[in-house]
Amino acid sequence: MTEQTRGKRPSDSAITIARQMIPSDANPLGIVHGGEILKMVDEAGGLAAMRHARCPVVTVRLDSMTFLEPIYVGDLVVVKAMVNWVGRTSMEVGIRVEAENPVTGVRTHTNTAFAVYVALDEEGRPKPVPPLVLETEEEKRRWAEAEKRQQHRLVQRKAKQKGEKP
């Protein structure tokens, strides 16, 4: 049985990256630019997808990015990413962003995002990915929610192809 057919647990590809925010990441008020956070979100999401597929991936969609709280210069930004759902060649990755004050240790949930990545073969074409092995109730809940988002994406794509408003 190959890695592509035996499946992987979400925890097998989960990743956490962290970086302290510096003045060049922020506006004159010391609030970090959203683009810096988006870059970290895509980096963590892409790495989780690559770890699951064990091949290069491309970002095809960032479903949503909700900014809940500001992030400031000096904060340690912690980005956690985990594969929620897989199709034949695509994967949805859930991404959570937290800002930690490194002096006090207080963490604040600042952002949530859902991104879709497609696995690529050596010639840059979509490639099948391993199935996702769900073991916990939390993993099953995340899959079910991701499945609903995927169905919504498909409806939107079909409407766009027909020239309709989704």
- Whether 12 is in a domain gets the answer yes
Number of domains in the chain: 1
Digitized pLDDT (tens) for each residue of the chain, 166 residues in all: 455 568 999 999 999 999 999 999 999 999 999 999 999 999 999 999 999 999 999 999 998 788 999 999 999 999 999 999 999 999 999 999 999 999 999 999 999 999 999 999 999 999 999 999 999 999 999 999 999 999 988 888 888 788 776 5
CA dist list (Å): 4 to 49, 52, 87, 112? 13, 9, 13, 29
- φ/ψ of residue 27, rounded to 5: -85, 175
- Whether 139 is in a domain gets the answer no
Angstrom distance (rounded) from CA 54 to CA 89:
12
- Whether 126 is in a domain gets the answer yes
- Whether 145 is in a domain gets the answer no
Within 10 angstroms of residue 142's Cβ, the number of other Cβ atoms is 20
Question: In terms of Cα–Cα distance, which of 11, 3, 6 is closest to 82?
Answer: 11
- Whether 111 is in a domain gets the answer yes
CATH of the domain at 105: 3.10.129.10
- Whether 140 is in a domain gets the answer no
- Whether 68 is in a domain gets the answer yes
Cβ atoms of 52 and 86 closer than 8 Å: yes
pLDDT of residue 27: 96
pLDDT of residue 1: 47
Cβ atoms of 56 and 99 closer than 8 Å: no
What domain range includes position 78? 3-134
CA dist list (Å): 120 to 45, 54, 60, 73, 81? 15, 10, 12, 36, 20
